[in-house]
Amino acid sequence: MTDLRTSKDKAPGPTAGLPRWLPMALGFVAAVALLGFIAGTSGSSDDPETLGEFTFQTTEGDTLTIGEFEGTPMVVNYFASWCAPCRAELPDFELVHQETKDDVMFLGVSRDTVTDSWRSLIAETGVTYTTVFEGNIQGSFAHLEATSMPTTVFISADGTIERVWSGALTDDKLRELIAEHLT
CA-based diameter of the chain, in Å? 79
For residue 48, say if its preceding peptide bond is cis, omega within 30 degrees of 0.
no
Query: Residue 3: phi, psi to the nearest 5?
Result: -80, 115
Predicted pLDDT of residue 154: 96
**pLDDT tens-digit series, residues 45-58:** 334 366 767 888 88
CA distance 17 to 14: 9
Kindly state the helix (H) or strand (E) to which residue 55 belongs, with its residue range.
Answer: strand 55-58
The CATH number of whichever domain residue 100 belongs to comes to 3.40.30.10
pTM of the model: 0.72
CA distance 52 to 113: 22
Alpha helices in the chain (DSSP H): 21-39, 84-100, 115-125, 140-143, 171-182
Is residue 30 in some structural domain?
A: no
Q: Are strands 151-155 and 161-166 parallel, antiparallel or unpaired?
A: antiparallel
Predicted pLDDT of residue 2: 52
Is residue 11 in some structural domain?
A: no
Number of domains in the chain: 1
Is residue 43 pLDDT above 60, yes or no? no
Q: Are strands 130-133 and 161-166 parallel, antiparallel or unpaired?
A: unpaired
Is residue 22 in some structural domain?
A: no
Say which residue, 137 or 29, is predicted with more confidence: 137
Is residue 149 in some structural domain?
A: yes
Say which residue, 121 or 43, is predicted with more confidence: 121
CA distance 14 to 169: 40
Is residue 25 in some structural domain?
A: no
Say which residue, 78 or 44, is predicted with more confidence: 78
CA distance 132 to 106: 11
Is residue 164 in some structural domain?
A: yes
Is residue 73 in some structural domain?
A: yes
Question: What is the Cα 152 distance to its own chain's centre?
Answer: 5
Average pLDDT, the chain: 79
Say which residue, 62 or 138, is predicted with more confidence: 62
Is residue 39 pLDDT above 70, yes or no? no
Asked if residue 150 lies in contact with residue 86, where contact means CB atoms within 8 angstroms, the answer is yes
Question: What is the Cα 114 distance to its own chain's centre?
Answer: 19
Q: Are strands 130-133 and 55-58 parallel, antiparallel or unpaired?
A: antiparallel
Domain extent for 132: 42-182
